[in-house]
Amino acid sequence: MPPAADTPLAIGIDIGTSGARAVAMRPDFSIAARSAVPLESFGQNARDPAVWWSAVGAALAELLSRIDRTAVRSIAVDGTSGTLLPIDGAGRPLAGPLMYHDRVADNAILAAIAREAPATSAALGATSGLAKALWFQRTPGVAAVLHQADWIAGQFSGRLDVSDENNALKTGYDAAARSWPDWIAATGMRMELLPGVARPGDVVGKLTADAADMFGLPREMAVVAGTTDGCASFLATGAAAIGDGVTALGSSLTVKILSDRPISAPRFGIYSHRLGDVWLAGGASNSGGKVLKQHFPLARIIELSTAIDPMTETGLDYYPLAAAGERFPIADPELPPRLVPRPVEDADFLKAMLEGIAAIEALGYDRLAELGAPRLRSVRSVGGGAANATWTAIRQRRLGVDFLPPLSDEAAAGTARLALMGASMAGLL
């Protein structure tokens, strides 16, 4: 049933690599409605900003058909971290975006960043936002270089000059000082092309008249600074206290923890996003579900899991990897997979792999603690692997902390929480 008109709502938009998702959230964090639209519905080029915007528009229109749109007070957007595009003075994209995983092959750009950036900066490396910004500043007619979420949010606010602290991190933003550092200009970056930076959850503007008319939304609603998809997924779970961890069990294994101080260790792929006055620190292993699927189809994994006793140990010391090389919690590009000896029974083999990934997860949280993060106090689990009760029991025994249910595993829900924050600060709730 749609909420009553006097129940205010905030909307979170998640634009990812496969589609756009939208969530309408009430002030008590309950979800009033949700929608999802695949990018392929609007063309095969998932890199086309026009496809992004068409998918966002369709997801929002579908969401609004399920709620009282006059109740909407605010909107925020999250996007893939490290995806950038150049625009002209009218906000039109001038070239195809460079996505989060795309590498800049210009050695001069990479050398300039390596020469000027602090060793702890998230802007180091060929996939960094700063490398992409330096590449795009050569584009004829460029007026600004924006992150994916900046450009989408700009379609609602009309502001194409503002980003948020989380998306800006890999472009070199200093989240501790809350400013673009001077060393960025020394790389040759034209600083006037970089957006201003707002705190996630801050109001950055109001809905434009065009956007209000397009979607039938109140003109006075707030557009709120968003975040990256990874940060949004963390926020969606409800984790909010220092020491709360979130483990994502997808194709890869990612662990994140709320910390009272920033943790940075580029060698391990660790850096920290700022969320108000706390920090979200974490890293991603090359282990995870893709290793399991190398050996068993999903249906077989589900079947075998029912035959496993999670309260006993195989005694096998596996380090499951799909190929040689690890980044976190061990930084070794040559680290070989360790998946021998192989038990006769498939169930025992799967169990040993589940134990191995659980050990990597535990080592990940230990590594963060060694680097200054708080000790783990609780875990919320997201991703496909979180549904495996046997794996959950193995992990809980290994970690020895409370496992709490996530409020949501949708990035758009985390972004809706930011939209609620902005609406509250603006006195709209």
Q: CATH code at 391?
A: 3.30.420.40
pTM over cut 0.85? yes
Mean pLDDT of 76-82: 94
Q: Which two tokens stand for residue 358?
A: 């659980």
Question: What confidence category does residue 16 fall into, taking pLDDT thresholds of 50, 70 and 90?
Answer: confident
Task: Quote the number of domains for the chain.
Answer: 2
Indicate the Cα dihedral angle 116, 264, 338, 394, nearest 10°. -160
Q: Which pair of tokens denotes residue 37?
A: 């639209």
Shared domain for 186 and 253, answered yes or no, is: no
CA distances from 35 to 100, 225, 350, 370 (A): 24, 21, 35, 41
Residue 224 belongs to some domain of the structure: yes
Question: pLDDT band at residue 43, thresholds of 50, 70 and 90?
Answer: confident
- Report how far residue 201's alpha carbon sits from residue 379's, in angstroms, rounded to the nearest whole number: 24
CA-CA distance, 352 to 274, in Å (whole number)?
Answer: 37
The DSSP letter of residue 40 is G
Q: Is residue 117 part of a domain?
A: yes
Confidence of residue 202 (pLDDT cuts 50, 70, 90): very high
Beta bridge mates, 291 = none
| Range scoring the smallest mean pLDDT among 2-16, 35-49, 182-196 | 2-16
1 within domain boundaries: no
SS (H, E, C) 241-271: CCCEEEEEECCCEEEEEEECCCCCEHHHCEE
Smallest CA-to-CA distance from 147 within 105, 201, 86, 188 is with 86
User: pLDDT tens, 266-324?
Assistant: 889 899 999 999 999 999 999 999 999 999 999 999 999 999 999 999 999 999 999 99
Contact 204, 382 (CB under 8 A): no
Task: Report residue 343's pLDDT band, with 50, 70 and 90 as the boundaries.
Answer: very high
CA 66 from centre of chain: 27
Summarize pLDDT for 374-414 with one digit per residue, the tens.
999 999 999 999 999 999 999 999 999 999 999 999 999 99
Q: Up-side HSE of residue 201: CA atoms within 13 Å toward CB?
A: 14
Residues 325 and 303 reside in one and the same domain: yes
Same domain, 393 and 415: no
The domain in which residue 204 lies consists of 9-231+411-425
SS3 category, 18: coil
Residues forming beta bridges with residue 203, ordered by sequence position: 224
- φ and ψ at 331, to 5 degrees? -100, 95
| Residues 220 and 336 grouped into a single domain | no
Residue 1 pLDDT > 80, yes or no? no
The confidence score (pLDDT) of residue 3 equals: 46
- Mean pLDDT (whole number) for 247-273: 93
Residue 108 burial (C-beta neighbours within 10 Å; 0-12, 13-18, 19+) = exposed
Contact between residue 166 and residue 229 where contact means Cβ atoms under 8 Å apart? no
Mean pLDDT, residues 86-95 taken together:
97
Structural tokens at position 344: 């006769």
Q: What is the pLDDT of residue 6?
A: 72
> Residue 28 is encoded by which pair of tokens?
């008590």
Q: What is the pLDDT of residue 5?
A: 57
- Residue 33 and residue 21 in contact, taking contact as beta carbons nearer than 8 Å: no
pLDDT digit string, tens, across residues 106-121: 999 999 999 999 999 9
> Whole-number mean pLDDT of the chain?
96
**Do 201 and 254 reside in the same domain of the chain?**
no
Indicate if 37 and 162 belong to the same structural domain. Answer: yes
Distance CA(133)–CA(123), nearest Å, equals 11
Q: What is the mean pLDDT of residues 182-196?
A: 98
> What percent of the chain stands above pLDDT 90?
94
Question: For residues 271 and 153, what is the distance between their CA atoms, to the nearest angstrom?
Answer: 25
Both 378 and 416 in one domain: the answer is: no
Clarify whether residues 63 and 205 are in a common domain: yes
- Torsion sign, CA atoms 337, 360, 372, 254: positive
Give yes or no: residues 254 and 289 share one domain. Answer: yes
Judgement on whether residues 397 and 415 belong to the same structural domain of the protein: no
